[in-house]
Chains A and B, each alone.
Chain A
Amino acid sequence: MQLAGKFFIFLSIVLFAFHAGPAQAEILDGSGSGTITISPLSISRDNLLVADGCDEAREWYDEGLRLSDDSDREAYYYQQAIDLCPGYVAAHNRLAEVYRKQGKYLLSIDQFEQARIQALASNQFASRSGSRALFLESAISLGEIYRIQGKYERAAQEFSKALQMDPDSLAAQNNLQYVYKRMHRYDNVLSPNNQMLVNALFTRISGLTRPRGTYRFDVQYHTWNQTGTLTDEMFDDERIQLAIPPSERKTEVKEVIASIRYGITNNLTIGLIPKYFSRTLEIKLAAFDTVETPTVKDIGDTELLLKYHVWGERNRHLSIYTLFNLPTGKNIKVLGDEPLTRPGQDMNGDPITEYLEFVRYIPFGSESYDVTPGLAFTLGLDPVILQSNMQYRITDGELIGDEFLLNAAAMYRVNPSVIASLEMNYRWRADVRRKQQVITYALRPDFILRERIPAGALVVDTNYTEFGGHTLFLSPGIQFTVARGVMVEFGMQIPLVRQAQGVTENIVYHLGLSVMTF
C-alpha cells in the first residue's frame, strides 16, 4: 500500500506538472532594466509554450470531427481549435471544408489559404506525416470551389498544383479533366504523359487509328550515304570478265516522304504515302582516278495505307494494316560518255583520257505491286509510351526483295512541348536477283575462245544477286510541338549491326514536320 500511495503521489505530481504547463517566459530587454512578460500564446507556434494550447485545440478539433455534419457547431469547434493554436493546419482545412459545404465560399477560400500559409510558415509541418495530404487536400478543395464558381482557369491552376505535388492524385486528375472540358480544351484533357497521339520517328505506324474525319499530314526528309559492292561473283548467269570492274558503289540518297492520312471511321484509317528521291551515284573504278557522279531526281513508289483498329482500351491499342505498293517509281537507266582519266601518261607525257560508255540502272521503285501486311501496337505506360510495329513486304524479288521490319519505340514526354524517343529498328532483306546490262570493252581481239571477238564495246545482258541480310539501327529522336497540332522532329538511325554484303547505309538523318487537324 505504501508503494501504491507513493505511486499515486508521483502520478499526481506528474499530472499537475503536465496541466500546469511551463512557467511564463521572461526575456530581458536590451537595457536590462526590466522584464517583458510574454503570454504563452503569443510565442511562436513551434515553441513549447504553445504546445499546451495546441493540445487543447486538438480536443476541440476531435470534437468537430466527431460531429462531421458541416454544421455551425462543427465550424465553431474548429474555430476554437484555431484560436488556441493558429498553426493548426488540419483545423483550417476542415473549417474551410465546412464553409464550402455551407456555400460560404469566400470564408472557405480564406481558410484554405490560411492553412497553406500556416503550413508553409511552420518548420515542423513539412516533416510531419500526412502534411502532404493536407496540402493536397487544400489545393483540390480550392480548385473545387473555383469550379463551382465557374472560374475554370483558377480551378485548373489549383488542380495542376495538386498534380505537381502528387501526380497520382485521382481527385486532381478527375477534376482537371472536367475543367479542361468545360474550357473546351478537349484535345488536351489528358495529363500530357498519357497523350498517345504521337508517332515515333521511324516506328511510324502506331496502334491507334485516326479519329473519324481528321487528317494528319507529314513530310519527312531523310538523307544518308550508302555503299554497295559489285563483284564478278555476283553475276550468276554469265560470268563477266569485267575489264574495268566497279568494286564499290557509293550513293548519297536524299528522300522526301509525304503522307496524308484520314480517318474514314474511328477504326479505319486510309493513307497515301508518295516518295521522292534524289540520288547521287559515285562508281569507283579501280583503273581510273576520277569518276563523274551524276545526280538523278525522280519520284519513287507510292504506298497506300489501310489500317484497321482491331482492339483497344484506354492505354492499349492494336491495329492491323496493309501497305499496297503502287509502282510509280521506275528503274531509271542513265547513259553517258564520260571522260575518265587513267593514272599515268601517254607517250607524249599527257594524261591518258578515255571516253567510256557507262550504263547505270538506278532503282526508284520496285516496278511491281507489292503488299506489306503488318501489325502495330501502342501502349501508354506513364510516363512512357511504347509503340511497336512489324511488317513483311512480299515482292516478286526482281528489283526489290522481300523485307521484314520490326520496330520498337519508347517515347518520353519531357515537358508538354518536347518528346524524346529511342527506337530499335530491325530489318531483314532477302537476296534480290536483278537484271543488269553490262557494257564492257575488249581492247584487242580475243582468240582464246576460238571465236574471234572484235575489239570494242561488248554488251551483255545478265543477272546478278544483290545480297540481303540483317541490319539493326538504334534511333534516338526528339519532337517539338511548335504550334497546336504541329510538330517538328529530328532524329537519326545509327546502324549497330550491318548486313555483311549488299547495300548498307551509314547514319540516316531524319527531319520531319507533321500537322494534325483536330
Chain B
Amino acid sequence: MTSSLPASKPMLLQLRRLFTDSGFPLLYIPLLFICSGCSTAFFPSPREDIAIEEDQFTIPKEIIIADNTIYQNNRSGLRIRGNTPVYVADCSIYQNGRAGVDIEQAAKVDIEASNIYENKNSGIAANNASKLTLRDSLVHQNKDGGIRIRQDTESQVKSTYVNLQHNKIFLNEEGGIHAIADTPGPIQVNVTKNAIYRNRKTGLRIEDNVHLTAAENAFYRNGAAGIASYVTADTPPRLDIYQNKIYFNLGSGVFIRSGITGRIGISNNLIYNNYRAGVAIGLLNQAANEQVDVEVYHNTIVGNGSNVEGAGIRNDSHGNAVIKNNIIAYNFTSGIMTDGCSGISYNLLFANGETSRVQPDSEDFNYLTEKVQYSGCSGKQWGDVLAQPMFTNPDSYNFSLRQDSPAVNAADTIHSAYFETFPNNNLGARPEPVSAGKVQERP
C-alpha cells in the first residue's frame, strides 16, 4: 500500500485560519467516523474521537482507519480495544488530551505512515495489547513519551508482540520508547531501522520481562542513555542490540542496569560521542538487584564520556560480561573499566583516558597508557592490541578502517549463527551504513 502523510504545512495553517476567522468556539460535538480512504478531518472532541470497542459493533474482520486527521480531542485520539485487527494508515493524530493512540486489552493494531504528535500523553500507549506494529511513521513531541508499552498482571494476553520499523521517534518530552512487562509472558519488542533522537530522556528503555531486538537503528541526542535496560521484578530483560549507531546521547550509549544478552548480544554497533560511558553495565556499589550476563562483541566505541563518567566500556556489576573484538578509542576516562580482567580479550584500545600520552604516529605506549586503558584490570589481555586504530576519518565520525589498520584481521572468531552469517575478521563493527528512520516523504 502506498501511503502519504496528510499533515502538510499549508493544510494545517488553512485549518487554523478557518477556525479563527469564522470565530468557531473551541468545542465541537464529537463525530464518530470509521472510514476507509476518506479525507475528513476529525474535529476536537471532549472525548476520544474514535473509540473502538468490539462489544459496540458487529465484529468486523478488520477495521481500517485511513487518511484521517484526528486532533485536539480531550481524551485519546484513537482508543482501541479487543482483538479485531485495526489498521491505521496515513493519519495525522495530534494534540489530543491523552495518548494519540491508546491500545488496550488484547488489541492488534498496525499503524503505517502516520504522524502522531503533540499529544498530552504518549504518542502511542499500548497497555496489555496483543500486537502493535508501527511502520514509516513519525512519533514526536508527545508529552509523556513517544511509545509506551506495558504488560501487567491484568493482561489478558500471554505476551505482547511489538514491531517498530522505519519510524522517526523524536523530541518527545519523556523517552522515545519505553517497554515494561512485569508478567511471566514477555513483551517481544523488535526495533528495526528507526531513528530515535532528541527525546528528553532515554531513547529506548526496557524493564523486566522484555525481549528486545534492536537492529540498524540510530539513537542520538537523547537526554539520557541511547538504550537502557533495567529490572524491577524477577525477570531481567533479554537483549540483542546490533548494527545500531548510538551517538551524542547525554547518558551512556547503552546502559544495562540488568540484562541478559540473547544469541547476538551487543554486537557490531557504532557507539560514539555519548556523554557518559559507551557501554555501561551495572551501577557502582548497587549490585543488589542486578542480573547481568552480557556479551559485547565487535563494537566500535569511540570518544564517549565527560567529567562525570566515561569509560568506553564499564562493568560495575557482579555479573558476567564478555568483552571481545571491540575497538575502544578516545574515550574520556579509560578504555575498559572493570573489576578485574575476566572476560576481556582481543580488543584494540587507543588514546583512552585523561592522562594517556601516546604518539599516534609512533605507537609509543611507554607510560600510563596501559593503566588508563584498563582501569581495574592490570593491563593488556590475550589478543589485545594497543595501537592507533587507523580510522578513515574519525573527525567526521567515519570509523571505517584503513587497510593499514592493526585491527584488520586481528579478531578472534566468534562461533554463533549471527557471526557465521555476518563474519568479521576485523576488530570493531562491520562498516555497513545504518539506514535508520527512512520514512516516506510527505507531499
Contact = CB atoms under 8 A, between A and B. Distances in A.
Contacts of A186: 351, 355-358
Nearest to A177: B332
A184 to B, nearest CB: 7
B354 A69 contact: no
Given A15-B23, A212-B366, A267-B371, A190 B306 contact: no
B304 A190 contact: no
A518 interface: yes
B198 interface: yes
B306 A173 contact: yes
Contacts of B395: 147-150, 182
B13 interface: yes
Given A8-B23, A59-B13, A148-B396, A197 B141 contact: no
A191 B367 contact: no
Nearest to A167: B307
Categorize the interface residue count of chain A.
Answer: 35 or more
B368 A266 contact: yes
Given A19-B20, A174-B310, A178-B303, A68 B170 contact: yes
Contacts of A147: 395
B142 to A, nearest CB: 12
Interface string B140-170: 1100000000000000000000000000101
Contacts of A148: 395-397
Categorize the interface residue count of chain B.
Answer: 35 or more
Contacts of B333: 314
Contact of B9 (A63, A69, A71): A63
Contact of A212 (B141, B351, B367): B367
B370 interface: yes
Contact of A170 (B25, B115, B141, B275): B275
A22 interface: no
Contacts of B376: 313
Contact of B117 (A66, A182, A191, A194): A66
A181 B372 CA distance: 14
Interface string B235-255: 000000000000010100000
A170 B307 contact: yes
Interface string B1-35: 00000000100110000001001010000000000
A26 interface: no
A77 interface: yes
A382 interface: yes
Interface string A175-211: 1011001101011011100100100000000000001
A11 interface: yes
Nearest to B273: A174
A213 B23 contact: no
Contact of A12 (B23, B303, B351, B356): B23
Contacts of B168: 68-69
A189 B354 contact: yes
Dominant SS at the B interface? loop
A65 B198 CA distance: 11
Contacts of A191: 307
A334 interface: no
A197 B306 contact: no
Find the residue from A148, A181, A184 having the highest chain B CB count within 10 A: A181
A168 B395 CA distance: 23
B344 interface: no
Contacts of A353: none
Contacts of A15: 20, 23
Find the residue from A8, A150, A178 having the highest chain B CB count within 10 A: A178
B355 A174 contact: no
Given A150-B395, A174-B304, A263-B367, A65 B141 contact: yes
Contacts of A189: 354-356
B397 to A, nearest CB: 8
A150 to B, nearest CB: 6
A313 B375 contact: yes
Nearest to A63: B9
Nearest to A266: B371
Contacts of B288: none
A102 to B, nearest CB: 14
A171 interface: yes
A251 B170 CA distance: 76
B340 interface: no
B355 A211 contact: yes
Contacts of A214: 367-368
A212 B371 contact: yes
A181 B366 contact: no
A190 B118 CA distance: 41
Nearest to B170: A68
B141 A173 contact: no
B171 interface: yes
B355 A190 contact: yes
Interface string B348-365: 000100111111100000
B42 interface: no
Interface string B332-344: 1110010000000
A468 B107 CA distance: 85
Interface in B300-344: 303-310, 330, 332-334, 337
Nearest to B13: A59
A314 B303 CA distance: 16
Given A173-B332, A186-B355, A186-B357, A194 B307 contact: yes
Contacts of A190: 307, 354-355
A66 B371 contact: no
B332 A194 contact: no
A174 B23 contact: no
B307 A382 contact: yes
A232 B359 CA distance: 68
A368 B275 CA distance: 55
A8 B25 CA distance: 9
A518 B395 CA distance: 26
A69 B198 CA distance: 12
B173 to A, nearest CB: 13
Contacts of B248: 171
B306 A174 contact: yes
Given A63-B9, A212-B367, A68 B140 contact: yes
A168 B439 CA distance: 36
Nearest to A4: B25
Contacts of B118: 66
Contact of B171 (A68, A197, A266, A314): A68
A486 to B, nearest CB: 17
Interface of A: 8, 11-12, 15, 19, 59-60, 63, 65-66, 68-69, 71, 77, 147-150, 168, 170-171, 173-175, 177-178, 181-182, 184, 186-187, 189-191, 194, 197, 211-214, 263, 266-267, 312-314, 382, 518
24 contacts: A8-B25, A15-B20, A15-B23, A65-B141, A65-B171, A68-B170, A69-B439, A171-B306, A174-B273, A174-B303, A174-B306, A178-B273, A182-B394, A186-B356, A189-B356, A211-B368, A212-B368, A212-B370, A212-B371, A213-B367, A267-B378, A313-B337, A314-B333, A518-B357
Given A177-B354, A312-B375, 15 more contacts: A65-B141, A66-B115, A66-B138, A71-B441, A77-B9, A168-B307, A171-B248, A173-B275, A174-B275, A181-B330, A191-B307, A213-B366, A313-B337, A313-B375, A314-B309
Query: 4 nearest interchain CB pairs?
Result: A211-B368, A266-B371, A170-B275, A170-B306
